[in-house]
Amino acid sequence: MRPFYLLAVICIMTSGCERGVPENVSFKNDIQPILNRSCVPCHNQVRPQGNIDLSSYSALMESRYFTRHEPIAVAGNSHDSRLYIVVATGNERMRMPPVHSEFRRVSNRETEMIRVWIEEGAKDN
């Protein structure tokens, strides 16, 4: 029985390590690829739905949530950042991309990466 418990403890302690969220999330290497795949097809320069362009760092930081004129990403505060709110919410009416969309939903790991990036200051790195 002891080897089983040891194996269980090792599995629990290491679960998610290989796919964990890095401490220093990079916009260029981590966040922009997520946005390109799941968001940019609808939120881009040519067709900025909701007046939101997520095609580049500067476009994202200049975009404002249309009904409140709030920034999409509030550096250091993911819970006030619309970018994080719309991918993390359990409310299907608010969640992006929409359930009927042809684009892949942001995974839990990717959602956490967005949260960490914003909490780390939403840097252009």
How far apart CA 10 and CA 71 sit, in angstroms, is 42
Closest by CA to 37, choosing from 125, 109, 106, is 106
**What pLDDT shows up at residue 91?**
95
| Tens of pLDDT, residue by residue, the chain (125 residues) | 444 333 333 333 333 344 688 889 999 999 999 999 999 999 999 989 988 999 999 999 999 877 668 899 999 999 999 999 999 999 999 999 998 889 999 999 999 999 999 999 999 99
Q: Which residues contact 87 (CB under 8 A, 6 or more apart)?
A: 38, 95, 96, 106, 110, 111, 114
Q: What are phi and psi of 43, to 5 degrees?
A: -115, 80
DSSP 8-class letter at 71: E
**What pLDDT shows up at residue 20?**
82
